[in-house]
Amino acid sequence: MNIINFHLKNFRNYDDESVTFVPGINILVGNNGQGKTNIIEGIYYLLTGKSYRVQREHELLKWDKEDFHLYGDFIVNHHKIFLESHFQDRKKRVKINHVPCQRLSDFVGTINVIFFSPDDLIMVKGGPSERRRFLDLHIAQIRPGYVRLLNAYNKVIQQKSALLKSYNEKSLKSSQLQLWNIQIVELGTKIILHRDELTKRILKVADEIYKNITSEKEKLTISYYALGKKNSQDAIKEFPDLLNQKMDQEIDRQMVLVGPHRDDLQILLDDKPARLYASQGQQRSMVLSMKLSELELIHQEKGEYPLLLLDDVLSELDSFRRNYLIKFIETSHIQTLITMTSAEKQLESGAQFYVDKGHIRRREG
């Protein structure tokens, strides 16, 4: 999967700018605050419908503008695909080959993308929501309909939460909660199965990569804990009973306490919680292994590697990990966009683009 052209209008610090990329490595060079990361963010937003930096679209608008537009030409399976994303009149609209998509779920996964930045260490040392997000974003790219499944589940959780916070009598709440719990079990079970399957596949690949990075001196273990249980099948069997057992507590606390929206991905280093015991270098190796495993899994699913976006990653890796990553990219022929500051040592291979005050130009020679 390759990106050929990319066009930003009124996005972040860009007025109206286009750039043509090459297969292989593309290096975006410039001082801090010039717009390198904004290009990466724009491409990611175009492909996933979300920013990895902010929650609300209006924060992506150029100052004093009311709409932004992103366009891109891509190649997937030797076919050219034109994607558009428009934020206008406070609404988001997406198109594939000029045809509007009714739902974002029909759009996500058209072109696969993996994003990696130093902030991704939060996958290891952050809270459960970061690890659930990691799983869900990957599944959404390879499983059509998963976004709809997540949206349906979240709506049920919102409705149940509203009921728990209402002033209805406890007896009335209990009967109504049973109806929502039936839907939570139905939708939540599907989410658990998807996440559990992906976790096992990630572990298989990431473990091998981690062994290579650490010369087999350390052991990486990744497990999905559904409803607090390591065995997802046991969790699914006990799901309805857990909801019933927690009902009084949910009513008292006015919170939905049971479901995959509270699940976690456990990451262990030599059988100890990596969040507590792994050094920053070890955490970087874990995240690198998991990101590279994502690349491999998408390649297995789609027959092509996804687009890889690296935002200021190389400066955070030691020489061994940096060389390992670059060799992986080059031998796998993965189109990669890398942001770097002008002060950093440049890569020997790859096309270079200079970014300055919201303008992009390719460096020749």
Each residue of 264-295: pLDDT tens digit? 999 999 999 999 999 998 999 999 999 999 99
Task: Report residue 181 as tokens.
Answer: 């719990």
Question: pTM value?
Answer: 0.91
Look at residue 349 in the predicted model and tell me its pLDDT. 74
Lateral strand order in the sheet of 359-363: 113-116, 307-311, 336-340, 25-29, 351-356, 359-363
pLDDT (0 to 100) of residue 347: 67
Signed CA dihedral, 116, 44, 198, 226: sign only: positive
Helix/strand number for the chain, H first, E second: 10, 15
- Token pair belonging to 230: 């390591």
Containing 156, the helix (H) or strand (E) segment is: helix 146-164
Are 281 and 210 in contact, with CB atoms under 8 Å apart?
no
Residue pair 309/45 in contact by the 8 Å Cβ criterion: no
Name residue 269's amino acid: L
pLDDT of residue 328: 92
Is 352 labeled as ligand-binding? no
Instruction: Determine the Cα–Cα distance for residues 313 and 120; give it in Å rounded to an integer.
Output: 10
Question: What six digits make up the tokens of 270?
Answer: 């030599």
Is 30 annotated among the ligand-binding residues?
Answer: yes
pLDDT of amino acid 168: 76
- pLDDT at position 169 is 78
- pLDDT value of residue 172: 77
Nearest to residue 222, comparing CAs of 208, 237, 204, 209?
204
Question: Which of 113, 12, 102 has its CA nearest to residue 72?
Answer: 113
Pure H helices in 303-346: 319-332
Rounded-to-integer distance, Cα 20 and Cα 35, Å: 16
Buried b (16+ CB within 10 A) or exposed e, 105-134: bbbbbbbbbbbbbebbbbbbeeeeebbbeb
Q: Answer yes or no: is 127 a known binding residue.
A: no
What tokens does 262 get?
Answer: 């509270």
Per the CB < 8 A criterion, the answer to whether 100 and 94 are in contact is yes
Residue 33 dihedral angles phi and psi, to the nearest 5°? 80, 15
| pLDDT tens sequence across 3-15 | 999 999 999 999 9
Domains and CATH numbers, the chain: 1-111+306-365 (3.40.50.300), 119-303 (1.20.1050.90)
Q: What is the pLDDT of residue 350?
A: 84
> Is 2 labelled as part of a ligand binding site?
no
Q: Cβ atoms within 10 A of the Cβ of 7, count?
A: 18
Distance CA 189, CA 166 (A): 27
> Are 42 and 8 contacting, i.e. CB atoms less than 8 angstroms apart?
yes
Tell me which residues of the chain have a pLDDT lower than 50.
343
